């Protein structure tokens, strides 16, 4: 039995009642939902229906606490998983947005660590962008992309967060040097230049020098020569 059974009883009903009243105040004209019916004539409410008409309005209009909304979304995901229904990305995105908005980074970390969210490239990129706010989550993002065998995604996250030497080591370890796209090479060097870390720029240039000169990347060659060869 839960320690606080009232949360699942009167308080939950009271919260839902307040939500209903708030909706009536905001939406003076209640438009009927456009729903589909199955072959048996039953109304089908899909994930997008709930997202657009229930979950998103609750979050945008602040009708319930972030904690309550997160709990509802997690239970919804649990229900979908029970019936072997794939969870749509916008449901995951809303949970992440809600947790980030309330600075509940440790809870987001736990959800990812225990695979509450399904692995996806989009999820990996989104988590990688959280690094500046909550650094520990970066490693979970990289692990997720590694499980998806997405080397380009791992490189993108490393580069965008300024891990130049780590990206070079990663390329070396997976023997990806000759396969990497020219645009990615440019991104690595320009990120080092943007960070004003010319030592990392030097190492990256020497690492890719053959490809850079072969593709006549004159701007990078010019930066390298002006910065280093003029010092001799």
Give the pLDDT score at 177. 79
Burial class (CB in 10 A: 0-12, 13-18, 19+), 135: exposed
Number of structural domains the chain divides into: 1
For residue 166, tell me if it sits in a domain: yes
In a domain, 216, yes or no: yes
pLDDT at position 2, please?
A: 44
Taking residue 142's Cβ as centre, other Cβ atoms within 10 Å add up to 22
User: Does residue 211 fall inside a structural domain?
Assistant: yes
Give the model confidence (pLDDT) of 151-183 as tens digits. Answer: 999 999 999 999 999 999 999 998 877 788 899
189 lies in some domain: yes
Chain-wide mean pLDDT for the chain? Answer: 84
What is the Cβ-side half-sphere exposure of residue 81, based on CA atoms within 13 angstroms?
Answer: 11
Is 81 domain-assigned? no
Residue-number span of the structural domain to which 191 is assigned: 150-232
Could you tell me if 196 and 175 are in contact, meaning their C-beta atoms sit under 8 angstroms apart?
A: no
Residue 82 lies in a domain: no
pTM of the shown model:
0.73
**Tokens 């988590």, located at residue:** 127
Whether residue 157 is contained in a domain is answered as yes
């Amino acid at each position: 039995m839960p320690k606080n059974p009232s949360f699942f009883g009167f308080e939950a009903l009271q919260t839902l009642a307040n939500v209903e009243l708030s909706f009536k105040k905001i939406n003076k004209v209640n438009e009927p939902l456009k729903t589909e019916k199955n072959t048996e004539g039953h109304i089908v409410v899909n994930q997008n229906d709930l997202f657009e008409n229930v979950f998103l309005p609750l979050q945008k209009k602040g009708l319930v606490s972030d904690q309550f909304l997160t709990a509802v979304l997690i239970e919804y995901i649990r229900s979908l998983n029970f019936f072997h229904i794939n969870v749509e990305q916008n449901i995951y995105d809303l949970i992440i947005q809600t947790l980030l908005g309330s600075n509940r980074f440790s809870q987001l970390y736990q959800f990812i660590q225990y695979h509450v969210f399904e692995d996806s490239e989009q999820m990996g990129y989104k988590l990688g962008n959280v690094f500046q706010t909550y650094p520990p989550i970066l490693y979970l993002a990289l692990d997720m992309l590694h499980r998806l065998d997405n080397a380009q995604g791992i490189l993108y996250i490393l580069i965008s967060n300024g891990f130049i030497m780590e990206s070079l080591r990663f390329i070396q370890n997976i023997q990806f040097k000759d396969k990497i796209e020219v645009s990615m090479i440019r991104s690595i060097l320009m990120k080092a230049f943007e960070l004003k870390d010319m030592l990392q720029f030097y190492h990256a240039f020497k690492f890719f020098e053959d490809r850079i000169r072969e593709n006549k990347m004159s701007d990078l060659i010019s930066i390298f020569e002006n910065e280093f060869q003029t010092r001799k």
